Amino acid sequence: EAQVTQNPRYLITVTGKKLTVTCSQNMNHEYMSWYRQDPGLGLRQIYYSMNVEVTDKGDVPEGYKVSRKEKRNFPLILESPSPNQTSLYFCASSPRTGNYNEQFFGPGTRLTVL
């Protein structure tokens, strides 16, 4: 089954404790992206990647890191989480080629930073 998976789905952590949220897709997509969703603010893009070793900042990259060492994986790293990073996070992927770029979203990761 074609899908985007995220782990963990739920996480409660404390300020300053480094964490990684994994994202994996099995559709051989070049494009991958991370979003955060907060009440009243909709979805905001954090980082995206056009292909292996190619990443770029979205609208809200501060406090986050990403890497794209393999095509299928795009982990989101919070080196020193803070309470304002409490949010619902979504990973997405899409094929890069052509003008048609439907994004496939993962199920989401709900993060709470105390």
Partner 1 sequence: DAKTTQPTSMDCAEGRAANLPCNHSTISGNEYVYWYRQIHSQGPQYIIHGLKNNETNEMASLIITEDRKSSTLILPHATLRDTAVYYCIVRAAGASGTYKYIFGTGTRLKVLA
* Binding stretches for partner 1 (CB under 8 A): 4, 31, 33, 35, 37, 40-45, 48, 50, 54, 56, 58-59, 88, 90, 92, 99-108, 110
Structure tokens at 69: 């060492």
Q: How far is the CB of 20 from partner 1 (least distance, A)?
A: 19
Residue 31's nearest CA partner among 55, 50, 45 is 50
**Alpha carbon distance 51, 96 (integer Å):** 8
Q: How far is the CB of 69 from partner 1 (least distance, A)?
A: 18
Structure tokens at 67: 């890497």
Q: How far is the CB of 58 from partner 1 (least distance, A)?
A: 5
The values of phi and psi at residue 34, to 5°, are -120, 140
13/45 with CB nearer partner 1: 45
Q: How far is the CB of 24 from partner 1 (least distance, A)?
A: 14
54/114 with CB nearer partner 1: 54
31/74 with CB nearer partner 1: 31
2/14 with CB nearer partner 1: 2
Whether the Cβ atoms of residue 46 and residue 35 lie closer than 8 Å to each other: yes
**Alpha carbon distance 21, 86 (integer Å):** 13
